[in-house]
Amino acid sequence: MINLLPPESKAEIRAAHTNTLLSRYIFLLMMAIGLLIAFVGFFYFYLANVRANAEREITDNNQKVANYKKVQKEAETFRSNLSIAKQIMDKKVDYTRVILRISNILPSGIILSTLTLDPSTIDKETSLNAHAKTYQDALNLKESLEKSGLFSDVHFLKIDQPEASNTSPSDEYALKVTMSVKFKREVIR
């Protein structure tokens, strides 16, 4: 086939064809930009709506929290009162039970004359005075206190044997024993 069109017409046809393609590309580009703007606008309004809802919910929650401030304050007061009560109960000592435990470990032939027991003497050295019939009873007392698990650092301070002129025949527990002991924490539990 022979093309008989003059070259100027051919150039105009090619230019018209190129213009048609360019106008299609421009139209498609405008459509794409329009869609992109529409998506951006849609997401902007969506996010603005979500933000407004979140701010509204925060405001509502802050109002609810303000309503519960009194309850929260009462709970904190109650919690502090409980901790104070726990401290008091931790320091409470049932002395009757402690004395019964100590009396149960005393060997026969021993009478306690003084026993100082209060929270300040726990884990600290204190003296214990007793009367014994014999030296063997005094040794048994020391051994019994050591084995009991209620005392630590048990040792004699002195053992006094009264003079024969100062004792009466009826005084069975004439031997005075002074011991140094430390009450363990387990004594008060």
- For residue 170, pLDDT beyond 60: no
Please indicate, yes or no, if residue 105 is contained in any of the structural domains. yes
Mean pLDDT score, 50-64: 93
Residue 4 in 3-state DSSP? coil
CA 15, CA 22: separation in Å to the nearest integer?
A: 10
Considering the domain architecture, whether residues 122 and 184 belong to the same structural domain is answered as yes
Dihedral sign of CA atoms 55, 61, 65, 66 in order: positive
What pTM value is reported for the model?
0.49
Number of domains in the chain: 2
For 145-149, which contacts have Cβ atoms below 8 Å and span 24 or more sequence positions? 145/105, 145/179, 145/181, 147/105, 148/105, 149/184, 149/186
List the CATH number of the domain containing 115. Answer: 3.30.1360.100
Helix 135-148 with 95-105: angle, nearest 10 deg: 130
Highest mean predicted confidence (pLDDT) among 33-42, 144-153, 170-179: 33-42
Inside any domain, residue 2: no
Tokens representing 20 are 């048609």
pLDDT of residue 169: 45
Query: Which is more confident, 68 or 90?
Result: 68
What is the span of the domain harbouring residue 39? 7-92
Retrieve residue 97's tokens: 């039970």
Per-residue pLDDT reduced to its tens digit, 101-160: 888 888 888 888 888 777 777 778 888 899 988 888 888 888 888 888 888 888 888 888
Q: Does residue 167 carry a pLDDT above 60?
A: no
Give the residue-averaged pLDDT of 166-182: 75
Residue at a domain's end among 44, 75, 92: 92
Q: Which residue has the higher pLDDT, 115 or 37?
A: 37
Note whether 88 and 123 are same-domain residues.
Answer: no
DSSP code at position 166: T
86 in a structural domain: yes
pLDDT-based confidence at 188, cuts 50/70/90?
A: low
Domain-embedded: residue 1: no
